Structure 1
Amino acid sequence: MSAHSPAATSTRLSDGRELIYFDDPGRPPRTTSPDARGLPGRAEPGEVRYDELSGDWIAVAAHRQSRTHLPPAEACPLCPSTSGNLSEIPAEDYDVVVFENRFPSLGPALAELPDSLPWGQSAPAAGRCEVVSFTSSHTGSFGGLPYGRARTVVEAWAHRTAALSALSGIRQVFPFENRGADIGVTLHHPHGQIYAYPYVTPRAAQLGARARRFYDESGGRATLLGALLDRERTAGERMVLDGTHFSAYVPFAARWPLEVHLVPHRHAADFADLTGEEKDELAEVYLRLLQAVDALYDTPTPYIAAWHQAPLDTVLRPAARFHLQLTSPRRAPDKLKFLAGSEAAMGAFITDTRPEQVAGRLRSALAGIPAAAAEPSTGRKARA
């Protein structure tokens, strides 16, 4: 059993938002400091509207137009607070921190959404949006974290998945990271986000319906993603890495110029469903995978790391398997794929690369990357 147990310490910011410190194992007990900014109380949530044409929910969050956009390092809201920069984190230093987003797309209200709404009516955008800062260092990336720090982030994802899943009205919990200006990030500091939706998102509903159909046809004995993983491992040509608990491959019908799926060998619903040993390996293989992606070009690769977790839906959840979908629009050193007519309007993807060749390049990159040092970062030398 894994012994990696970071300490979680909860506090409140001056406007009432929750902030949680996750300290690497071996750190002394944390003493929290008050948020000295004296922020005004939180605004009312935005709204959600129901699109009768598609059956999708649309969040209207016009207040996000005023959110912080690519500030200089000395004004970064994710760096530890100083006398000259009272940031979102009222501490001199930290390992990993999670806090409620000051400019949320959803929340802070919690409520049960109806199945639909009549045309012309809206409802409060219930839910919760959190920011996950991977390190106190302003520079770097997740792929550059030491193993112990990455393992602490995995534990934070599991902690927040369990906590958010228990909130009233939440139907899906989605951790993700947008990395790089080409993806549209608004902060350079290494970080990700977690959205707790009051509805099952369109993509999760689509994948979930197909997974449930396969599950039912197998008599509840097999899952669709598990079967696809078995096929990819047998074929081999699109495999990127094969571990004890997780394997990664470029899918046969990849949509993006660079797309990798990291899938557990065991059927697991979400981060909170993983064992300690699985979390240990996940931190290690995820680090190596990100390093391989960055080794493909001379400059850092923009990507979206999307952690697909089973929806909190009694029909879809039994058949939905936890996995990572890592994608990048980068199709060449100096070229990006933009979603234009066919993809954006019709959802009909046309890929610019052959999945087999992408997998081969990633395998070659991985060959030069050593396994991450599986030891907790218990001293300041291990900081990212």
Structure 2
Amino acid sequence: MPSTDTPILPLRISNLSKAFGNHIALDNLDLTLEPGQVLALLGPSGCGKTTLLRCIAGLLAADSGEIVIRGHTVASGKINLPPEQRGLGMVFQDYALWPHMTLAENLAFPLQMKKLPRAEQQYRIRWALELVGLAHLADRSPGTLSGGQQQRIALARAIVAQPALLLMDEPLSNLDKNLRAQLAIEIRTLIDDLGLTAIFVTHDQHEAFALADKVAVMHQGRIAQLASPEALFHHPATPAIAEFLDAGSLLSAQLSGTGLQIGSHAFALTTPVATHRHVQILLPHNALSLQTDGPLYGRVRSRIYQGDYYLAQIQLDLANSDTMIKLHLQNCPPANTHVRLTIVNRSLHAWDSSGQVVPLVLANKVGAGKILVEEELA
């Protein structure tokens, strides 16, 4: 007979609030984390993501609400367990390694707090150092290590006590671009191999997408959207989230019985719209294509070489709006070239004036044609 036991959730947060004077940092926030899940708290400075992480860690007391870690209430009313009693591992933005201790001694600290036998401490220290590939440096001091090595040691210290939940505060922000990408893969692989559940804070969407199963975009102390990286990027809940993620360009348009009206051109839709209304449509960077007889007119304002494509800024001839579109290298005209464009993505994401999501599907997909340059337009 199959078990009907409900699995114990690594984290459950209910009605969590925190204010600093008149500033509301967390506003009645709810959050649940599934076993083995990696969650990114993403948002700009001041959105509440670091405050939330600090409340979970026990470094900051919430004003109200409840935090339950693996079935144990760690914060609720008068209950507020200190960090060492919450069963957590923490990776800080600045590594927070003790400079007067060796790497092995840094890793020993959380094990000593748990009063584990010395033999087990030595075994776990060796195990954690081997996981991050730095066992040969056990007797070195943190000051002799590179930034990437220090971050690996900080990670090793966070997992050495086998925590119920791993917390990371901007874990890659102090590293250069190439090292960030490498360490992101290493951290995610380690989390998967150990079956850890983790939450990390970041302002960088690329870091969030690289490490997380789910991303919570925070705004004014609340979770504005919680979704997978793919769903978040392709189906943002609001225009503000789309802009924050740089998911594409926002254009004003009109919906009517004849279809989608952008400037002076109407694009037919697969499903007619009964009511006339204003919408904002999201055009991903690859949603437009240059085409000889395209209905939209524009001029290349600038182009940036990205290695396998150019990112071009196009000035469209409607409402003086700049639309960023992604152009492949072989189809990129120089700056100040006049061009014509068409929409090649049939499925578009849009919002009406009330903020309601309006899914749109264009009736026809027009392929890309020959680039029309300035001389041909003259």
Shorter-chain TM-score category?
A: under 0.3
**Could you say which structure has the greater relative contact order, defined with CA pairs below 8 angstroms and 6 or more residues apart?**
1
Q: TM-score, normalised by structure 1?
A: 0.24
More strand by share: 2
Larger Rg belongs to: 2
